[in-house]
Amino acid sequence: MYLYDTYDRALLAERVAEFRDQVARRLSGELSEDEFKPLRLMNGVYLQLHAYMLRIAIPYGSLSSDQMRMLAHVARRYDRGYGHFTTRQNIQFNWIKLADMPDVVADLATVELHAMQTSGNCVRNITSDQWAGVASDEIEDPRIWAEILRQHSTLHPEFTFLPRKFKIAITASAHDRAAIKVHDIGLRLFRNEQGEAGFEVVVGGGLGRTPFIGKVIRPFLKKRDFLSYIEAILRVYNQYGRRDNIYKARIKILVHELGAERFAQEVEAEWKAINNGELALDPAIVAGIAARFRYPDYNQLADDAPALTAARQSDRRFATWLGNSVANHKVAGYAIVTLSLKPEGGPPGDATAEQMEAIAELAERYSFGEIRVGHEQNLVLPHVAQHDLPELWRALDALGLATPNVGLISDIIACPGLDYCSLANARSIPIAQELTHRFGDLKRARELGRLHVNISGCINACGHHHVGHIGILGVEKNGEEVYQITLGGRADEAAQLGELLGPAVPYHQVADVIEDIVAAYLEVRARPDELFIDTLARVGIEPFKERVYAVH
């Protein structure tokens, strides 16, 4: 966890006061809705189908127990008792009254949470690996760099009115859990052949109506140049990004139109003019930020505690959960536990106030008071002693947070869709719910292995359908909801966009089509451990096409 210092607290308090004043001006009529819109967006307030929605940042996915309790308080006091975790390490509340918004953000500020820049054409919440700091394959904690960037991008005087929103993600592992290649800027911290740690810089990835995988514009960036280089990218984008058409305004279009090489040249030229200026990072500045991260005081434990082994042998349900939802920790005797927010029949990513409070409590008891939020819309307890796993599992099971479907077909990423969102053309949540029923038999889901299903209710692609192994995109055709299916997308280090299966199918056929795709996979896979995505890469899309369109 990063702990705010005096400066961070002062700035946030001043921002809360400014927002209170802006809301007051709107409520008094001094500001029209049109004038107020960009101001509220700078603080994560959207006008949705039914009410105002507030999006709160969970920077790089780290939450303390106190912060989680505050989210529960917001859900209960100002909303309808639940919140929705998004794919970008934010939480959304869908029913907050505008007049309450200033009090909500003031309450949040007491635990160092905020909604700054969670919308608007500015640098959004900086996201990272939900296993940052605990993953055994990472070279160092990427959250330190994410925090440096969070601060640098907050109320930036030059980059608050960019052509379009701007999303940055950072990972420090070879295995990318932060989907950096589908961000405006993706940063991968790694060690080069000389053993020096630095960043690979990927630019121009993104989904939406024109999806692109990002391109590497700098294979190795020294740490001292981290801020100056990102400043140079943003400056080039701010000046040359398209502003004539909202659908062509993201940096991915600029990179595509100029070509990655030419874009890189522009950035290099700009960067050379500023790289020895004030933004050259003094190691002492980085060390100062790092020093404000609090790390657990781990106990000396051995792997495979007897209590764990015993429980694994005696309880099949526990063993199943252990195999599915628990991952290796870099410290011996500890484990990383994923809490599935995808119970059968539930809207993906939703948590009730009671669940949030219980999770806060469990995190305090078993995970040094720390919780993480991942882009798959699940939560993580990052520091659980292995001998505590049986007890923790019983508690999670009672709360409905131990569905052992992490990474399986029913662990669906979905946007809010037509049930909440004013942009949506089609429903997402009911499709997800239906699929969790179809694959509610976890034995069957397990037999299918790792299989990511992503659902978006419109072309803006908030459910990241392009990068789902199976992607489902809802569109409207002649007043009806129909769904396009893509296969073979992925958001990890081998990121690629899915391929269209064929003509769109009506709402009531989607679940059947997914069942057909799964049946085709089971028939053609070479071995039981050949994953869906690997089978598809081997045999191509044809067998799936034939199966689906022959039947329907």
- The residues binding other proteins (CB under 8 A) are 3-8, 10-11, 14-15, 17-18, 22, 30, 35, 38-39, 121, 151-152, 154-162, 235, 238-239, 243, 273, 277-279, 282, 284-285, 288, 291-292, 294
Q: Whose Cβ is closer to other proteins: residue 46's or residue 159's? A: 159
Q: Whose Cβ is closer to other proteins: residue 151's or residue 535's? A: 151
At closest approach, how far in Å is the CB of 438 from other proteins?
45
Q: Whose Cβ is closer to other proteins: residue 236's or residue 461's? A: 236
Q: What angle do CA 371, 373, 377 make, to 5 degrees?
A: 140
Q: Using the 8-state DSSP alphabet, how is residue 540 labeled?
A: -
Q: Whose Cβ is closer to other proteins: residue 26's or residue 183's? A: 26
At closest approach, how far in Å is the CB of 356 from other proteins?
24
At closest approach, how far in Å is the CB of 161 from other proteins?
3
Residue pointed to by tokens 């966890």: 1
At closest approach, how far in Å is the CB of 11 from other proteins?
4
At closest approach, how far in Å is the CB of 208 from other proteins?
19
Q: Whose Cβ is closer to other proteins: residue 262's or residue 552's? A: 262
Q: Which residues, other chains included, contact 179 with Cβ-Cβ below 8 Å and sequence gap of 6+?
A: 169, 375, 464, 467, 491, 492, 495
Tokens of 171: 């990972």
Residue pointed to by tokens 């309808």: 80
Q: Are 267 and 260 in contact (CB under 8 A)?
A: no
Tokens of 395: 């508690």
Q: Are 320 and 404 in contact (CB under 8 A)?
A: yes
For residue 264, the one-letter residue type is A
Instruction: Report the distance separating Cα 532 and Cα 541, nearest Å.
Output: 11
With the CA atoms of 299, 301, 303 and 304 taken in that order, what torsion angle do they form, in degrees rounded to the nearest 10?
Answer: -110
Tokens of 125: 């919440």
Which DSSP string corresponds to 380-404?
EEEEEEGGGHHHHHHHHHHHT---S
At closest approach, how far in Å is the CB of 60 from other proteins?
16
At closest approach, how far in Å is the CB of 4 from other proteins?
8
At closest approach, how far in Å is the CB of 8 from other proteins?
8
Q: Whose Cβ is closer to other proteins: residue 9's or residue 76's? A: 9
Q: Whose Cβ is closer to other proteins: residue 291's or residue 332's? A: 291
Q: Whose Cβ is closer to other proteins: residue 14's or residue 303's? A: 14
Residue pointed to by tokens 């989904």: 207
Instruction: Report the distance separating Cα 488 and Cα 497, nearest Å.
Output: 7
